[in-house]
Structure 1
Amino acid sequence: MDIASTPTEAQENTQVADAASPPQAPPVIRREDYLPPAWLVPEIALDFALGIDETRVVSKLKVVRNPDAAGATALRLHGDQIAALAVRVDGEAINDWRLEGPDLLVELPGAEHLVEVETQVNPAANSKLMGLYASNGMLCTQCEAEGFRRITFFPDRPDVLSTYSVRMTGDKATFPILLSNGNCTAQGEDADGAHWAEWHDPWPKPSYLFALVAGDLVANHSTFTTMSGREVDLNIWVRPGDEGRTQHAMDSLIASMKWDEQVFGREYDLDLFNIVAVSDFNMGAMENKGLNVFNTRYVLADPETATDGDYDAVEGVIGHEYFHNWSGNRITCRDWFQLSLKEGFTVLRDQLFSADMGSEAVKRIEDVRILRSAQFPEDSGPLAHPIRPDSYQEINNFYTATVYNKGAEVIRMMRTMAGPEWFRKGTDLYFERHDGEAATCEDFIKAIEDGAGLDLTQFRLWYSQAGTPLVSASLSHEGTTATVSLSQTVPVTPGQPDKKPMPIPLRIALFDRDSGTHAGEQLVVLDKASDSFVFEGFAKPPVLSINRGFSAPVSIDIERANEDLVFLAARDDDPFARYEAMQSLVVQHLVAAVGQGLGDAARAEARAAIGKAFAAILTDPALDDLMRGELMILPAESYLAEQMLVADPGAIHAEREALKTWLGREYADALTALHDRAVAVPYGRDAAARGARKIKNQALALIAAGNAQEGARRAYAQYRAADNMTDRQGALIVLASLDVPEREEALAEFHGRYEGNALVIDKWFSLQAGSFHPQVLANIRKLAEHPDFTMTNPNRVRALYMGAAMNPKAFHDASGEGYRLIGDLIRRLDPINPQTAARFVPSLGRWRRIESVRAAMMRAELEKIAAEPSLSRDVREQVTKSLG
């Protein structure tokens, strides 16, 4: 078990919770019950005696009574599966401390004390990867949200801010590098082969931002000069041999620092900034003050091993964690209900950064695609919650697309209504008012309100109401007047049967049919249940372009003739609106084909409209290839399912594949010409070369759909000729779905080429699990027995099993085998890593929106999971809500 070592007879005062006691239902934590902490900890000193199997920790806490809290004299120090070996108050050992559940309580008179607690942990046994754990011979920490309590007893809540002093001692051969937050103030060696380092972080921070890393690491080093002229040392620490794949991460870090100064006026505040890449990590990365710990997949990149998408992800995540230095660290959350205060705002900041670094249009489309594939289903399912939740049982379950991605969209709406300059005035005011504080979402809204001069009273509903609003729109024309009529409904979600209208900012334009132009974009705000907006000067009915730039995270219900959608797909000057028109053409056709069936004439008419728009996309000289590649992507099957009250995944898959086959055959010549053109473009990191690779792989997939033999030939040739991972993986993805001899040869060659490179072998697992091969489920079962598969590495588990859960052909197989596969995984993984296991539950939790036969099998898997006697809080909360 992941618990401190058994006490010895000499440790008479050691107490530990009874590990054999039956699990109790976790309490429900409610936002309305928030109380300030009774005691504050302005200073903490930590002393670590490091070892892989045994680490001793001595924490010294200066505690002072909080004048803003009433009552209790007891100091509550949170713990989780750790034992107190000794407790001292003001230098004297005491025996009258007690455990209440996992927490340590000490009765303290007076107003100020020094409390010292000694603990012992086993990092090697920590498979949950929360707290202090071992990863391939090194030690590292993950403390958000409640991991610090697995290291030492502490008031582990985000509104307790402390300055940290840390001393680490360890064997120099095992741990040649010793890192923590802030600046290194001293270091030295002992006579027994050990060495030590002392670190001090001058900025008060909550315990979730504490970090420690010890191991055999090498650094890519650089410097950055801030806008005030201070030089900051930058290091990206990796295992020896990986340093050659860190330059893109370093370039991204420097670009992030410069961008945050220019766009938000935020300057870095320490003399040192460290990033460490770790191969075993539950999350993508962590923004610990001055010492960011990253999953290796968001640090390591070179053309041979990383796709263009990987490069973008490294840049975006590096930016995200760096931007947290102000939006999360300097100003943190009062409590975990305010998580979107830091995450929603920082996601918006990283989105704006990535848009400025690359294609703004493509980045916006990518962000919306993620929102629709991950957050919209969350909003319409049993796990729906507002971006500021009202309650939780396990905080790890609220690291969701709603809190992050919808949270970012809500703040983007404020920026849209205020305009970038006035929004900046609001954020400046926010940073000025709350620097050094644990703040709330209300504090942020009020700062934007005051700084930008907005009235956001009604807008606050976006923080408290769950669900994706549905906006119904229609356009009428009489004489020279065009009227846009809008209405909104916010759907019923668990615990929220009645909803109020919310302010919905919609960017719109009315196109003249003959000239193909419009008189200017306008912003309308729908803040009532229904409203109409009148526009003059149209001799003919115009074409409505609505929710341009995806100005609001809503669904739009509007009846538009195919000819209007073809017009917008070919001529709209807003890139997102053009993309949306193309998507709408396809969605209308596929939803109709699945829901009501189509006769030959209706199917031919719909396909002709799609084909007309598709042909324009393939040949439009005004389009750059990055945008062209986006417009060629068909709507995901999960998004199509969201358009139906009850979805038939098998029918959706069949109809979407049939359309791909038709496009591949109907436009075979144009697609092969496009592929040939792209093949001739040499590798580069510039936009033109990246665009060429994008259309190359999109064209290849459609060619293979229309002609498997030609697709296999071209894919194999592309694979053999590839000088970069984007081309090699793109070809292998196509081959993985085909039942051809080239498939096995390419897969074997790929594995042999990259054996030992964990991140690339993850790709090998993932692309097979996500394939549409006829035997995909059998292949997944076989891969689970592969020597390279392990249940203890979250990246490897996600590569195989999330690939399966997100693959509609495998997951929704009519036999129910896909559901059993994921159900079995959750039960097996939960005792090892409950946080990762819980992330697979929502895929089964969508059963209410699936046709009855499959729904019964999905529910049965959830019931089997619920029947497990020792489920973690993470999984039990998700399963209970999914069944309720």
Structure 2
Amino acid sequence: MMNSLHEGAPTLIRREDYAAPAFLIDSVALTFDLDPAKTRVLNQMRVRRNPDVPAQALRLDGEDLNLARVLVNGAGTSFKLDGQQLVLENLPEGTEPFDLEIFTTCAPASNTQLMGLYVSQGTFFTQCEAEGFRRITYFLDRPDVMASYTVTLRADKATYPVLLSNGNLVEEGALEDGPNGPRHYAKWVDPHKKPCYLFALVAGQLVRREQKIIARNGQEHTLQIYVRAGDLDKTEHAMNSLMASIAWDEARFGLPLDLERFMIVATSDFNMGAMENKGLNIFNTKFVLANPATATDVDYANVESVVGHEYFHNWTGNRVTCRDWFQLSLKEGLTVFRDQEFSMDMVASASARAVKRIEDVRLLRTAQFAEDAGPMAHPIRPDQYQEINNFYTLTVYEKGAEVVRMMQTLVGRDGFARGMRLYFERHDGQAVTCDDFAQAIADANPDSHLALLLPQFKHWYSQAGTPRLHSQGEYDADAQTYTLTLSQSCPPSPGQPVKAPFVIPVAVGLLDAQGQDIPGTARTVVLSDTSASVVFEHVPSAPVPSILRGFSAPVVLQHAYTDAELLTLLAHDSDAFNRWEAGQRLALRLALAAIQADGDVPTEPLDSAYMDAMRAVLQAPQLDAAFKELVLTLPSETYIAEQLDMVDPQRIHAVREAMRLQLATALQTDWAHTFESHHDNGAYRPDPVSSGRRALVGLALHMLCLAARHSGDPVWPGKAYQRVKDAGNMTDRFQSLSALVSSGHELATAALERFHARFQREELVLDKWFALQAGAPDHGGHILPMVQQLLTHPDFHIKNPNRARSLIFSYCNANPGAFHRADGAGYTFWRDHVLAINAFNPQVAARLARALDRWRQLAEPYRSAACAAIEHVAAQPDLSNDVREVVTRALAD
């Protein structure tokens, strides 16, 4: 049984209990003799007592290690093992450094958790964040212990010709032959001190793309991307993204690349998206590999974003890191903000920037707002946890980014850049806190709202939940003034029944009756009290308020807009986000009315005003295609469910499907014109304009196939099938396949078979193939039996996280209409696979367990069946701490 599995009650870690380390580690020399079954690790450390902490024993973390030797200053010493810690008491007195040598072995080939040192398809990889380094050697496995690393890797040359670690390669050469033939070594030195969670090594048979660049200061750097043979043609976009990231960070924030070389390595067995190990980023292949034949426009955008994100960590996370894991948003929220800004700066037009912003907000509101309202709700800086892996959440990342964005709003773009400079001047090379970051931004802008309200602004760090922003307007025709009254509240969260007021920047503007901006009314109102009013003068007629422009704060806006006002905003608002938001509000209003109405689901839930507005959007020549696609995409079933106190997933699904069919049939002529006028068979380009056209064409084809399924017209399904056969890029091909599958057309079966036959050797494409089927609309309850059948498919491998996510997660987490079955069979499926995956990869199992976070909001019979499934999981005696924390919190009152 794995050491990480449940052994009595899990320990609750509290932020308030933080204490500085009793010992500091100045330098680490690691020597690895790499062998899949038994890797030998020699760990030679230079250690000293922390003079600021009372004298105590040295307690080193370790997990699944075989301890062979412990030496202090070259001599044997007494030690003991206390649970998973190596305890040394007889150490030199005083604060002078001493040498500590530890020799251990581990078994990477049997490490199915993919944490620490493991083997994937014959290649060694590491993943040490958050607490994986203790699975490599005994160590002070905490982020505030920063040391200099020298790493020597030794291995069979034929099997492991490439030997990589952090920093600079200073020496390599041959060793004496081993039993399997020639051996060799490589020695790496990292010039920067780092915490152990940023350690990395890679050894295997890999090929590389290499690029030399010259920085602004004239220094040359080597960029390398390592992949398996056969994937090199899919690395050009990742390399271009890396070069763009380096140039952007130096131009925007004055942060240069600080290493002679920067390496990216891709693996298909990875629990996360990517990891920012200093100078040696290890990536999930999903976020590195892309060419037009195998990757969609979304894949191209994700590669650019994730490559940027991990590179930006080189400063925000690596050069300045977290004092403790409660400060995780210090690096993750800040770096998500930076990668969002990078992606927006990479596009030329304001419209494309707006599309990116809308996409980011849609993710936040659909998934993170749900997290805020559930049992795992926590502030972006949590106060306690049982298992840190469970706090790599959308709250820490996406909401954390919104908090940083509000800082930039409050101090301005230039002011934020000043704050970043001060942050690095103060803290370069240190492990610090969220408070340190906020203080630096405020101190660099002493007259800003942020500086004046900093203690209150930091409620965003300490309070969970999504604030409600209530607004009400009153027009005085005689005085020609408009008074907008804003107030705030926040629902209770676990352990936080009452919340103090937040600091909320609210970007507003006023539109006249013709939809034009009223001059002088655009401003950002900073709400810091429970309520406040702002008066707009020289307003000649009753206006339509445009509130929370650009989604200026992560809140739920509650304003009693009339349908007419929303239609005005949709047609005319100069703020693209609020224009999109108006359409979403109209659709949501109609969906909720149909869901909450008595009797059967109406066949036409959408009214004529909404249909006319959507037709106008589709026909508008001045609107970009990408923006049209966003406006014409209905709110998701998950987002609709979040607006309800009691959730009937099947009724929500039925209503949304009726809305989709009505849009498809009523606008059929317009969809056909859109398809014919926008599809482009020229050379593939992943730029925003081309991608937007393909996105709109894909939506049109979905709608045309849906309408055809009900009318029996064979033309459009036939065109979709033909595009599956001969499309010139994966975006068009996969959209066409998806149109057939999501419409439930009979041609879908043949199209799926043809697609699989063509791409059966492309792992990332097969992930799409599995996910498409598991996420399809459920016509007659057929999705679960199909998913169960796909579990036995020769290409399904449950121990590969990408493949498990593509099938099991797509069904449980992303297909509510199919998952929430009245017979409870979906919950039984969830239960069985949480337990199955828990046995070999607790991290992945815990993420799957989150699918039933909101079970209490379900109507019967779903609620009782979901509760029984959660209770069954919670009752297992050998449950990992990762999963136990999730299900225990879900069951808590």
Same fold (TM over 0.5): yes
1:734 aligns with 2:727: no
Q: Paired residue for 2:793, among 762, 786, 794?
A: 786
**Contact 2:116–2:126 (Cα < 8 Å) also in 1:** yes
Asked if the contact 2:702/2:743 (under 8 Å) is kept, the reply is no
CA distance in 2, matches of 1:247, 1:106: 50
Output aligned runs, 1:520-539, within 5 Å: 520=520, 521-539=522-540
Residue 599 of structure 1: CA displacement?
A: 11
Contact (CA 8 Å) 1:45, 1:61: kept in 2 or not?
yes
Q: Contact 1:563–1:609 (CA<8 Å) still a contact in 2? A: no
Task: Note the alpha carbon deviations across 1:680-715, whole angstroms, 9 max, x for none.
Answer: 452323333212111011112222333314452332
Match of 1:497 in 2: 497
2:47 pairs, out of 42, 52, 63, with 63
Given that 2:419 and 2:442 are in contact with CA atoms closer than 8 Å, whether structure 1 keeps it comes out as: yes
2:550 partner SS? helix
Q: Which runs of 5+ in 1 are unaligned?
A: 4-18
Amino acid corresponding to residue 777 of structure 1 in structure 2 = L
Once the two structures are TM-superposed, the CA of residue 461 in structure 1 deviates from its matched residue by 0.4
SS in 2 for 1:223: strand
Specify the SS of the correspondent of 1:840: helix
2:818 paired with 1:818:
no
Query: What corresponds to 1:8 in structure 2?
Result: none
Q: Is 1:801 matched with 2:830?
A: no
Query: Does the 8 Å CA contact 1:168/1:178 hold for their aligned counterparts?
Result: yes
Shift of 1:515: 5.5
Q: Is the aligned partner of 1:93 residue 2:76?
A: yes
RMSD (CA atoms)? 1.6
Amino acid aligned to 1:162: A
1:333-352 counterparts in 2 under 5 A?
A: 333-352=322-341
**Per-residue deviation at 1:675?**
1.0
Query: What letter matches 1:819 in structure 2?
Result: Y
Give the conservation status (yes or no) of the 8 Å contact 1:87–1:117. Answer: yes
Residue 102 of structure 1: aligned partner: 84
Residue correspondence of structure 1 range 375-394 to structure 2 within 5 A: 375-394=368-387
User: Does the CA-based 8 Å contact 1:738-1:773 persist in structure 2?
Assistant: no
Question: What is the deviation of 1:820?
Answer: 1.5
Structure 2 residues without counterparts, runs of 5 or longer: none
- 1:65 Cα deviation (Å)? 0.8
**Partner in structure 1 of residue 461 of structure 2:** 463
- Superposition deviation, residue 464 in structure 1: 0.3
Please say which of residues 602-611 and 357-366 is displaced more in the overlay: 602-611
**Distance of 2:835 and 2:620 partners within structure 1:** 51
Aligned partner of residue 258 in structure 2, secondary structure: coil
Displacement, 1:813?
2.1
1:427 to 1:700, Cα distance in 2 relative to 1, 3 A: same
Deviations 1:197-246 (A, max 9, x none): 00000100000000000000111000121221111100000011111100
**Which runs of structure 2 are paired with 1:411-560 in the superposition (5 Å)?**
411-453=404-446, 454-455=451-452, 456-479=454-477, 480-514=480-514, 516-520=516-520, 521-560=522-561
**Distance in 2 between the 1:155 and 1:729 partners?**
48
Q: Is the 8 A contact 1:660 1:706 kept in 2?
A: no
Q: Secondary structure at the match of 1:208?
A: helix
Q: Deviations over 1:161-214 (max 9, x none)?
A: 000000010000110000000000000012300000000001000000000000
318-327 or 522-531, which deviates more: 522-531
Residue 461 of structure 1 aligns with an amino acid whose one-letter code is H
**Displacement of 1:740 after TM fit?**
3.5
Maintained 8 Å contact 1:592/1:598: no
Residue 37 in structure 1 maps to residue 33 in structure 2: no
Contact map agreement 2:606 2:659 (CA 8 A) in 1: no
One-letter amino acid of the counterpart of residue 104, structure 1? L
Shift of 1:344: 0.2
Contact 2:146 2:194 in 1 (8 A): yes
Give the aligned partner of residue 646 of structure 2: 646
Cα-to-partner distance string for 1:455-495 (whole Å, 9 max, x where unaligned): 21210100000000011111111121111111111110000
What is the CA-CA distance between 1:598 and the residue it aligns to? Answer: 9.2
Aligned AA (1:825): H
Q: C-alpha separation between the residues in 2 aligned to 1:93 and 1:144?
A: 31
> What is the CA–CA distance in structure 2 between the aligned matches of 1:598 and 1:311, rounded to whole Å?
45
Alignment: residue pair count: 865
* Partner Cα separation in structure 2 for residue 492 and residue 706 of structure 1: 44
- Contact 2:515 2:572 (C-alpha < 8 Å) held by counterparts: no
When residues 570 and 254 of structure 1 are mapped into structure 2, their CA distance, relative to the original with a 3 A threshold, is same
CA deviation profile, 1:729-770 (whole Å, cap 9, x unmatched): 111112123444311111111111011211111111000000
User: CA–CA distance in 2 between the matches of 1:22 and 1:862?
Assistant: 17
Bigger shift: 145-154 or 751-760? 751-760
Is 1:226–2:215 an aligned residue pair? yes
Cα deviation per residue 1:525-583 (whole Å; 9 max; x = unaligned)? 11111111111122321001111100000001111111111111111111111110010
Percent same amino acid among aligned pairs?
Answer: 48
CA distance in 1, matches of 2:744, 2:639: 27
Letter in 2 for 1:68: D
Q: Distance in 2 between matches of 1:502 and 1:598?
A: 42
Of residues 867-876 and 719-728 in structure 1, the stretch that sits farther from structure 2 once superposed is 719-728
Q: What letter is aligned with 2:508?
A: I
Q: Equivalent residue of 2:747, what SS?
A: helix
User: What SS class does the counterpart of residue 315 from structure 2 fall into?
Assistant: coil
Q: Distance in 2 between matches of 1:452 and 1:225?
A: 34
The residue correspondences of 1:654-803 to structure 2 (distance < 5 A) are: 654-682=654-682, 683-708=684-709, 709-710=712-713, 711-774=716-779, 775-803=782-810
**Cα distance in 1 for residues equivalent to 2:515 and 2:738:** 42
* Post-superposition offset of 1:2: 5.5
TM-score (norm 1): 0.96
1:517: Cα distance to partner? Answer: 2.6
Deviation at 1:848, TM superposition (A): 1.1
- The answer as to whether partners of 1:664 and 1:707 remain within 8 angstroms in 2 is no
Instruction: Specify the alignment match of 2:190 in structure 1.
Output: 201
Tell me the amino acid that sits aligned with residue 27 of structure 2.
Answer: E
Question: Could you say what secondary structure the match of 1:156 adopts?
Answer: coil
Per-residue deviation, residues 596-652 of structure 1 (Å, max 9, x unmatched):
35999x997952221122112101111111211111111111111111112211111
Q: Contact 1:181–1:291 at 8 Å: present in 2 too?
A: yes
* Preserved CA contact (<8 Å) 1:2 1:125: no
Deviating beyond 4 angstroms after TM superposition, the runs of 4 or more aligned structure 1 residues are 597-600, 602-606
Q: Name the structure 2 match of 1:593.
A: 594
Q: Is the 8 A contact 2:372 2:464 kept in 1?
A: yes
Give deviations 1:341-363, integer Å, cap 9, x for gaps: 00000000000001111321111
In structure 1, give the amino acid aligned to 2:828: R
Question: Take 1:404 and 1:515, find their aligned partners in 2: how far apart are those partners?
Answer: 36
Q: Distance in 2 between matches of 1:721 and 1:79?
A: 54
Counterpart of 2:615 in structure 1 is 615
Q: Residue in 2 aligned with 1:273?
A: 262
Structure 1: which amino acid aligns with 2:389? N
Q: Which residue of 1 aligns with 2:125?
A: 140
Q: Distance in 1 between matches of 2:280 and 2:576?
A: 38
Mapped pair 1:54 → 2:59: no
Is it true that 1:838 corresponds to 2:841 in the alignment?
no
Shift of residue 818, structure 1, vs aligned partner: 1.6
Match in the other structure for 1:331: 320
CA shift for structure 1 position 721: 3.2
Question: Is 1:190 aligned to residue 172 of structure 2?
Answer: no
CA distance in 1, matches of 2:680, 2:138: 61
Is the 2:43–2:137 contact (alpha carbons within 8 Å) kept by the matching residues of 1?
yes
Per-residue CA distance 1:415-453 (angstroms, 9 max, x = gap) = 011110011111111111100000100000100110122
Distance across 2 between alignment mates of 1:813 and 1:308: 33
Residue number in structure 2 paired with 1:361: 354
Q: Partner of 2:772: helix, strand, or coil? A: helix
Give per-residue Cα distances to partners, 1:66-88, cap 9 Å, x unaligned.
1222231x111101121211111
TM-score normalised by structure 2 residue count: 0.95
Deviates more, 1:137-146 or 1:521-530: 521-530
**Can you list the C-alpha shifts for 1:237-263, whole angstroms capped at 9, x where unaligned?**
001111110000000000000000011
